[in-house]
Structure 1
Amino acid sequence: MTHNDRWVSIREARQETSVGKTVEVRGWVRTRRDSKAGFSFVELNDGSCFGNLQVVAPGELDNYAEEVQKLTAGCSVVVVGKIEASPAKGQATELHAQSVRVLGWCDGETYPLQKKRHSFEKLREWAHLRARTNTFGAVTRVRNQICDSIHNFFQENEFYYIQTPIITASDCEGAGEMFRVTSLDLDGLAKSGRPVNYEWDFFNKPTYLTVSGQLEAETYATALGRVYTFGPTFRAENSNTSRHLAEFWMVEPEVAFFELADNMRLAEAFLKRILTDCLQQCDEDMTFFEQRIAPGVIEQLTRVVEQPFEHMTYTAAIEVLEGSNESFEYPIRWGADLQAEHERYLTEKHVGGPVILTDYPSTIKPFYMRVSDDGKTVAAMDVLVPGVGEIIGGSQREERLDVLRRRMQEAELDMDEYAWYVDLRRFGTVPHAGFGLGLERAVQYVTGMANIRDVIPFPRTPGNADF
């Protein structure tokens, strides 16, 4: 909201319905060029949309020679003028300026975002500026749309949004790849040679950054029925691949009285909603990704939206892979986790569309997943899509007290630390299920960006915590 009724976004100014209106726009200069006819064309963008607004600045402006003709990329300005239909190809409108006021000059000699194309790797060094580029502006708007769709989907389906702790004493995944949080003077302890005593620590025990809010979400699901958590999670995995981050965002719904089949239906509807909204609400940005980043991405997303998800057990998938005559880098055997190359074969070559794999071996899945009647598998599910492989992972949770205790003992977990979790099975246990979607994986899939570090504003990876 603003007290200035004339101030509109550049997105609104570019619409044909704005023709004839006198408006004020505010933004940053992308380019400027002078016409021999005595006026300047200034391309302006405020981040509200992919395309720029062309401003026609006449030479009669009071500050034309002193300021308008000195504008360079990066300068911020306020322009008042009338929206006119544009004779130029590719744009519906242009703004005929009545005044141009410079808010902030930009040092053209040191400003790194010049016309020359920079690699995405180079732009990571300027993460504080890269959102001003076409690519990262588009990524940010798509990321925002996905976040909006996530909240809208769950709110419309009567889920409650809860906030789970960032600091935790439990390891949800049991993998041990956690960042320790402490207020102890570790340098002082190292110099003194004394052992670390966590009874002196802030929480009087070892604590870590969370890898998942699932376990805490289960407590509220078993009271309120339908909940979801959406926030930052952390994994201390020393991986420098294009698919891994140390800090990332996860959305994790949890539903009481749900079994695996219910969970699968929810995941399919959820993913289709996200993709549909991106295709419909971010058409200009998606056209850019189609043309400049990942040709075919729009068709790929459309097919996922339109096709029913095929269901296949892990065992059936292993049989398909073993009989495929494909040369995989990682060997295929029952009991081993599937790799991205296996998942992509199943979706892209075998099925030709999205697949939900179920019933994984219990030995490769966490303790909280429900053990099946065969005693060998668990009620797990992974949603696989063409182009990336796994995008959602989830399961029906183990609601039987005796089975949960046995699984926790097999995982060598400290039963005292998880006493509160066990209580959920002691006091009115019910079947329940949920899943997790990594926000950055989703953004990467929708945009076709090759590296996950380019779909989060400030990536955190091994050896890198800048900005």
Structure 2
Amino acid sequence: MTRARIAQILKSGEPGTTVDVRGWVRTKRESKQDFAFLEVNDGSCMANVQIVVDANLPDYASLIKQIHTGASVAVVGEIKASLGKGQRIEVHAHSLKVLGTADPATYPLQKKGHSFEFLREKAHLRPRTNTFGAIARVRNALCAAIHAFFQARDFLYVQTPIITTSDCEGAGQVFQVTTLDLARLQQSKSPLDYSHDFFGKKAGLTVSGQLEGEIFATAVGDVYTFGPTFRAENSNTTRHLAEFWMVEPEMAFYELEDNMDLAESFVRTIVKDVLERCPEDLAFFNERIEPNLIASLENIVNHDFIRLTYTEAVEILLKSGHTFEFPIEWGKDMQSEHERFLTEQHFKQPVILTDYPREIKSFYMRCNEDGKTVRAMDVLVPRIGEIIGGSQREERHSVLIDRMKECGLVPEDYWWYLELRQYGTVPHSGFGLGLERTVQLVTGMTNIRDCIPFPRTPKSADF
């Protein structure tokens, strides 16, 4: 018989039905009346199903001795109405098989509270906990909602390179990819000669699929990329990862206003989808992690985002009378505390900021006529701050060359990107949303390392 998911059994299982349950034991209680209760979970939902094992079962005593928290079992049994509180049904075992034991002396996930710091050291086991099982289900729902949003709007899903020779952000925080024998070169004190490397030039892991995405946007219409990106930023904050997932749509013929409209619709839609698809998991996060989580998410779904310029936002912050750890002034990038003040205290809802100073933004953003700002936009949400960064792209060939030089880049290294501006250039726009920050948003988790299955951070690349 095919295994029945516990979520389906708990939701629609009727007394008298025979089911095949397979999962991991959360707890075991033995009764003096010669039967035992097993709480079993298979990861399909938050709740466990109670298995009642009677002493009349063949090899009862031997089997029960083998079963401890963490053991895996396969049970065939009959659903019966439960007399216990807090549960509608239970399963009375007709057969019980122990698939794998778990030594209670060494199994680290005993029935007690564990810190998130401890669980990061047990990334191979932490998905078995309530919190991380719920995070996995929410992350899955978000990914499905992301694809559904763009597919419903006829965007093409394109796959951009993970290995690249360009640095989209121009910050130099790129993980290098090489086949050169660095140890031998160090011993011989020979200079690095990338002509002998695998690609014949310096290459690294991508920080963004945007530039390649623009190629397809200016050929086949609206596209999006969705994959891993990497940044060698030596940061140990709760907001940064060295490896993270990004969804990056690129749209031909879109100007900044069109870009903002799409970004707002995107955030509101995927949050709405997760609220509808994962109510039990979000209720758990609302109870255990962030008390105002669901109200905050419903606020995002039900209200239009506030739109204002960077300059207007700076004026609001300066006049607020609030003392910030990082003083705000025009020309400096906003910190998380500034973004959260705008969304949580001043407006009390999401905000889209536009027209940032050109000195703090990337070379590919379209320059405004004032010579001081670019047509950039950031979507800010409560508790997180920036969740989306985007812009109208610079489509003018000569202006783009000047911006590259201004940002310290060599235009010849981006010859193919520049050719897009020579052959049928058009206005186009795009943005990037970090998946892990979105998981933070919808779960209330405070540390981004808990929002990805296997976090990659400085000095940490286990599992």
Answer yes or no: same fold by TM over 0.5: yes
Counterpart AA for 2:410: D
From 154, 163, 167, the counterpart of 1:167: 163
CA contact (8 A) 1:39 1:59 kept: yes
Counterpart AA for 1:355: V
Which sits farther off after the overlay, 11-20 or 283-292?
11-20
The 1-side partners of 2:112 and 2:383 are apart by: 30
The 2-side partners of 1:117 and 1:58 are apart by: 30
Look up the SS of the partner of 2:250 in the other structure. strand
Partner of 2:238: 242
CA contact (8 A) 1:394 1:436 kept: yes
The alpha-carbon deviation at position 84 of structure 1 amounts to 2.0
The alpha-carbon deviation at position 69 of structure 1 amounts to 4.4
The alpha-carbon deviation at position 68 of structure 1 amounts to 2.5
Partner of 1:452: 448
Partner of 2:283: 287
1:298 aligns with 2:313: no
The 1-side partners of 2:290 and 2:69 are apart by: 27
Which sits farther off after the overlay, 34-43 or 308-317?
34-43
Look up the SS of the partner of 1:425 in the other structure. coil
Partner of 1:256: 252
The alpha-carbon deviation at position 92 of structure 1 amounts to 2.3
Look up the SS of the partner of 1:359 in the other structure. strand
Look up the SS of the partner of 1:101 in the other structure. strand
CA contact (8 A) 2:13 2:79 kept: no
1:157 aligns with 2:157: no
1:8 aligns with 2:4: yes
The 2-side partners of 1:369 and 1:54 are apart by: 57
Partner of 2:342: 346
Partner of 1:198: 194
Report 1:294-333 matches (<5 A). Answer: 294-333=290-329
From 385, 393, 400, the counterpart of 1:397: 393
CA contact (8 A) 2:34 2:55 kept: yes
Counterpart AA for 1:448: G
Look up the SS of the partner of 1:417 in the other structure. helix
Instruction: Give the length in aligned residue pairs.
Output: 463
Partner of 1:463: 459
Partner of 2:42: 46
Report 1:28-427 matches (<5 A). Answer: 28-427=24-423
TM-score w.r.t. length of structure 2 = 0.98
Over 6 Å off, 4+ runs = none
**Unpaired segments of 5 or more residues in structure 1?**
none
Counterpart AA for 1:423: E
TM-score w.r.t. length of structure 1 = 0.97
The alpha-carbon deviation at position 91 of structure 1 amounts to 2.1
The 1-side partners of 2:278 and 2:33 are apart by: 37
CA contact (8 A) 1:19 1:84 kept: yes
Look up the SS of the partner of 1:88 in the other structure. coil
CA contact (8 A) 1:16 1:93 kept: no
Look up the SS of the partner of 2:379 in the other structure. strand
Deviations 1:289-344 (A, max 9, x none): 11111111111111111111010110100110110000011111111111111111
CA contact (8 A) 2:66 2:98 kept: no
Deviations 1:366-407 (A, max 9, x none): 000011121211111000111111111101101111111111
CA contact (8 A) 2:123 2:453 kept: yes
1:436 aligns with 2:413: no
CA contact (8 A) 1:16 1:85 kept: no
Which sits farther off after the overlay, 147-156 or 410-419?
410-419
The 2-side partners of 1:337 and 1:242 are apart by: 19
Counterpart AA for 2:108: P
CA contact (8 A) 1:34 1:69 kept: no
Counterpart AA for 1:369: M
The 2-side partners of 1:363 and 1:182 are apart by: 32
**Unpaired segments of 5 or more residues in structure 2?**
none
The 1-side partners of 2:208 and 2:15 are apart by: 50
The 2-side partners of 1:243 and 1:130 are apart by: 20
The alpha-carbon deviation at position 459 of structure 1 amounts to 0.7
CA contact (8 A) 1:231 1:250 kept: yes
CA contact (8 A) 1:255 1:433 kept: yes
Counterpart AA for 1:26: R
Look up the SS of the partner of 2:411 in the other structure. coil
The 1-side partners of 2:66 and 2:165 are apart by: 58
The 2-side partners of 1:396 and 1:85 are apart by: 60
Counterpart AA for 1:210: T
